[in-house]
Amino acid sequence: MTTLEADRQRLERYDVHADEYLLAIITDEDHASQVELDDGQVAWRSTLRHDRLHRFVDDAGRAHYRLEDIPPEQGGEFQLVSLIAEGGRGAEFSELVMFGKRLLTFDDRTGLICEIRAQNQLVPRQILMTGSGDERFKGFKSEWATLWEDRLVVGSHGKRSEEEWVKLVDRNYGLQSINWQDRYALIREALGVGEHGYVIHEAVEWHPYRRQWLFFPRKVSTEPFDELIDGRERGSNKLVVASEDFSDIRVLEVGDCVPERGISSFKLVPGHPDECVGLKSVEVGDRTESYLFCFNLDGQVLTDDLFIGDYKCEGVEFL
């Protein structure tokens, strides 16, 4: 396999004729992830669910998607248990990515990259540290991940300087830290948030055919961060499309903005790489909700928000 084939192979698991897909969706339930096992041991748990996604084309030639739940008793739900935590928190999985034949997930508290085996076994593969990895003993707040050529790129939300680094991971889990401060700054500039505003990223995809980076920020604000209003009012519907070197950046609006719903993950549809499936998350006080929607790279919504649960889902991937 050449170095140019890995990211494309990920998009060619299904061909252009596919109309049914198997999805994996993972939860990040923050403090609620802590559980006590039967033997009294404290652990941290996340739910992995499987769903079927059906694609169909209407008489006008426009694609639409329908989600089919798979009941838990038919293999639609699995529990992932981690014994590793930082500061009393763990198993806060923020993304899913197929890396070769391995399904990987990323803990945004501990910095762990774990392989998911047999739907319910976590195998630690690498641990990412904040910033360059040399600043302090703190796990990297992994929020998004994608394949770029033959490497995995893992990034954070970019609100602080230490979260403007990305991690490059090769197929042997070798690690390199790269400062993307200039790229995050260009995105903020394109979104027009000004010096007092902020952008929070949790959903990024590399498009190997277009040679473009696709950033779909969860939050966009021209005002300073205020935790009391952030969850209710800062959700975004703006998709940032950047050339490979970030020299050309444009912004598209995708559907209507629902201020309390922010994008937490999205993926290009294999076989139809100009169409995407995404997740939106709600965190307002103690209320959490998750929605699935579909759109294309012209900014058209193909499937409106579908409620999938009163918990927070932050990772979606095609199996």
- What pLDDT digit, counting tens, does each position of 219-260 carry? 999 999 999 899 999 999 999 999 999 999 999 999 999 999
At 64, the pLDDT band (50, 70, 90 cuts) reads very high
Q: Which residues pair with 174 in a beta bridge?
A: none
Determine how many CB atoms are found less than 10 A away from the CB of residue 83: 12
Q: Is the model more confident about 147 or about 4?
A: 147
Is residue 164 within 8 A of residue 150, CB to CB? The reply is no
- What pLDDT digit, counting tens, does each position of 289-301 carry? 999 999 999 999 9
Burial of 158 (0-12, 13-18, 19+ CB in 10 A): buried
306: Cβ–Cβ under 8 A, 6 or more apart, which residues?
Answer: 67, 291, 292, 293
- What pLDDT digit, counting tens, does each position of 5-62 carry? 889 999 999 999 999 999 999 998 887 789 888 898 998 999 999 999 999 999 998 9
Q: How far apart are CA 105 and CA 158, in angstroms?
A: 20
Match 């939050």 to its residue by tokens. 219
Is residue 90 within 8 A of residue 81, CB to CB? The reply is no
Q: Which residues pair with 14 in a beta bridge?
A: none
- What is the pLDDT, as a whole number, of residue 2? 47
Q: Which of 123, 115, 121, 165 is nearest to 141 (CA)?
A: 165
- What is the pLDDT, as a whole number, of residue 1? 44
Write phi, then psi, for 7 (nearest 5 degrees). -70, -35
Q: How far apart are CA 124 and CA 112, in angstroms?
A: 7
Q: How far apart are CA 27 and CA 49, in angstroms?
A: 9
Average per-residue pLDDT for the chain:
95
Instruction: Indicate the helix (H) or strand (E) that contains 153.
Output: strand 151-155
The dihedral sign for the CA sequence 193, 194, 195, 196? negative
pTM of the model: 0.95
- What is the pLDDT, as a whole number, of residue 33? 86
Q: Which domains does the chain have, with CATH numbers?
A: 6-318 (2.120.10.100)
- What is the pLDDT, as a whole number, of residue 30? 80
Query: Which amino acid, one-letter code, is at 207?
Result: H
The Cα diameter of the chain in Å comes to 59
Q: Which residues pair with 220 in a beta bridge?
A: 199
- What is the pLDDT, as a whole number, of residue 86? 93
Is residue 33 within 8 A of residue 46, CB to CB? The reply is yes
Is residue 94 within 8 A of residue 126, CB to CB? The reply is no
- What is the pLDDT, as a whole number, of residue 242? 98
Q: Which of 106, 174, 182 is nearest to 139 (CA)?
A: 106
In the sheet with 301-309, reading across from the earlier edge strand, the strands are: 262-269, 272-284, 287-296, 301-309
At 119, the pLDDT band (50, 70, 90 cuts) reads confident
The CA distances from residue 14 to 17, 18, 21, 270, 314, in Å, are 8, 6, 8, 5, 23
Q: How far apart are CA 8 and CA 207, in angstroms?
A: 9
The CA distances from residue 223 to 29, 195, 199, 229, 236, in Å, are 27, 9, 10, 11, 14
